[in-house]
Structure 1
Amino acid sequence: MITEQVHALLTEIDQSEVASPEQLETFRLRYLSKKGVVTALFEQLKQIEPEQRRAVGQELNKLKNRAQERFQEFGQRLEASGPMSAGPTVDLTLPVVPNQLGSLHPLTIVRRRIIEIFERIGFNVAYGPEIETDWYNFGALNFPDNHPAREMQDTFFIEKNGGPVRDDVLLRTHTSNVQVRLMEHKRPPIRSIMPGRVFRNEAISARAHCVFHQVEGLYVDTNVSFRDLKDTLYHFAKEMFDKDSQIRLRPSYFPFTEPSAEIDVSCFICKGAGCNVCKYSGWVEIAGSGMVDPAVLSNCGIDPEEFTGFAFGMGIERITMLRYGIKDLRLFTENDVRFLGQFKGA
């Protein structure tokens, strides 16, 4: 009986054909696995009469060897014909998908460059909260109670737990709040820059946005003068724009500095001759600045009789637009890869 089964299985093995890895695995499970038909026949060998067991065992070994030979033949044939994969073959006529690399956002590039310039002359970097109280955003900085910036049409005030809008919690309108916190908790000398996001209730246009980025600077120590402020910003202009850059200071007013000045840099595109970037004046505005008002120092617990300081602030978007000749502020937030891709390697 076993001999007849062996002969039938030999015929079956010789006539088998395998054309895929799945069929090869099916062949192995049927003939060579521990639960296959060959193993089952070996289990029956112990029931054979002892005088016949040797001959039947030889037949079973012949069957097992033949199954292993065919399995190896099928495997070699499949390996030679291509990858042993059940999935579709690769269509080599398809166009290649380019391996595109991203790029840093232009605002990130300029922010890092600004930080690098000021760190090299001794400024460290400080950060503070974007949700702030009226005191740190306005009060400590000498803003009068009736200042327009305190109105809801200029500033985003915060609701608390779904209740009414509070008039003392808001989204910061400048990073000057970090200056106040530094002066409150650190004794001079203080030499820091404060990059970060700020928020103002403005209509979005090519030249304005409700969310933008600033970097402000603060230097407080004994005998800090307006000349120190001018030399610092002059160094920045040369490093950021052009080694031949010049700066000029125009009198201005800010509640937290006295005296105050707007800072212009000579147009690095037309070299002062006049172009559409500088509105044919030869100068472009980059920052506001001034000597820290003694009242602000007192509000922060610093003795204005002993210490003086200067502060400045500039928009990172403004610097980026000037540096790269960008005319629409909205491009920075639209995430258009055609625009962002221009800054690879910048």
Structure 2
Amino acid sequence: MPAPITALDWRGPLADAVRAELDSKTKPPGSLGRLETLALQLALIQNVPRPRLDSARCLVFAADHGVAAQGVSPYPQAVTAQMVANFLAGGAAISVLAREFDCALSVVDCGVLSAQPTPHPQLLDRRLGAGTASLLEGPALSPQQVETALANGAALIDALPARAYAFGEMGIGNTTSAAALMHASTALDAAQCTGRGTGLDDPGLARKQAVVADAVARQGRSEDPRLLLSRYGGFEIATLCGAMLGAAAARSVVLVDGFIATAAAAMALRIDRALRGYLVFAHVSAEAPHARWLAELQAEPLLDLGLRLGEGSGAILGLPLLRAACALLADMATFAGAGVTERT
């Protein structure tokens, strides 16, 4: 089980000191907008007046889903293992972005149908099985698998410490899992919760919406995040959920990626509401339900670039903004220090 999370004190002495520091810089108050909010958030997360992001890590959680047999993706399940190999070979989008932003990259096999044939230094084995059961036919994970996944995710943070984490995922069928989690935990109907994923045509989308609606009709809604993860989750979503909780417990910032990562965040928030202060929602995906779920969570994303790839590609693009916020707080001159007259 992940450790308890320390709730951030947005009205305490440290918060007041950081706000005063930001207001003393050579600029009109508040003129750096959300960069100022990010600087304050990072200071509170690290519990220091001058936060630093001297280490960052991207973890991509991969697994397969039994529901893929229902034709909910235009890609075969073999693509999950193939993309894991592509991550490790350095050819995927997240591989390129991780190199560009000096962010360590690891891939976590949580239950890909076909395990990688050879070890790799960036590949972490946290397999819970060769893909989940189909959420249309019953619980996708057992309760014990949910607990193991949560513990695995938290333990990864202990093993791979960093100031900031960008979490991604890979798994054919996992937008269906995320859609079912959304439908089962909100008042939104199945059509509102289900998008085209990796590019379904209209008949495919209708089929996917029907799968989500039927699964939730059979297994039901719940306020219990562990039960929801058992019924509808993926191995990678549950492990990602544990990693988010573990990162916050370690006082690290969590950059939330797209629709599937938001599903994990939504479940993790139900486990521990204090997580909210540690989350930075990096972008809004072009996967239509994502904007709706962000609205449900009252989350304002940093970027809107029309991304719908996953892998953590949107999350890692928030990293330069976090680094900029830290630099501005640490290095920008004050009115007094620069000899600039303040406003009257």
State the TM-score, normalizing by the size of structure 2. Answer: 0.24
Q: Over alpha carbons, which structure has the higher Rg?
A: 1
Q: Which structure: greater helix fraction?
A: 2
Which protein, 1 or 2, shows the higher relative CO under an 8 Å CA cutoff with sep ≥ 6?
2
**TM-score, scaled relative to structure 1:** 0.24
